[in-house]
Amino acid sequence: MRKHHASLVRDIALGRGPVITDWGAHLKLSPKEQSKFVQTLEGSREQINMLASLDGEIESEDAEAFSESFYRLLVRALGQSRVSQLVEVELARLEKHK
């Protein structure tokens, strides 16, 4: 988050951009899912909360707040079942690379 702070803030504020596109690619979202994610982000309380967590020096509680908002946004956009699938795949990938 610190390394790409400016790009992250810009993309969250605009609701589009390379960071958001990369998230979709990393999570292997379909074009329809990516579109739904962006539509759900724009003007959402999660967008506001993510931007607030990026305001100023990023501490661990800010990163946690960002993650919580991102997760809630994914659930609203894609549904709990799909997000659970994404989490399982990501945890397996991380375990594989230990």
pLDDT beyond 80 at 63:
yes
Considering its fold, how many domains does the chain have in total? 1
Assess contact for 23 and 33: CB atoms under 8 A: no
For the ranges 21-25, 38-42, 57-61, the lowest mean pLDDT is seen at: 57-61
Residue 61: closest CA among 76, 79, 49: 49
pLDDT beyond 70 at 32:
yes
Alpha carbon of residue 87 to chain centroid: 12
Token pair 């999570």: residue: 27
pTM of the model: 0.86
The domain in which residue 73 lies consists of 5-96
Where residue 2 falls among pLDDT bands split at 50, 70, 90?
Answer: low
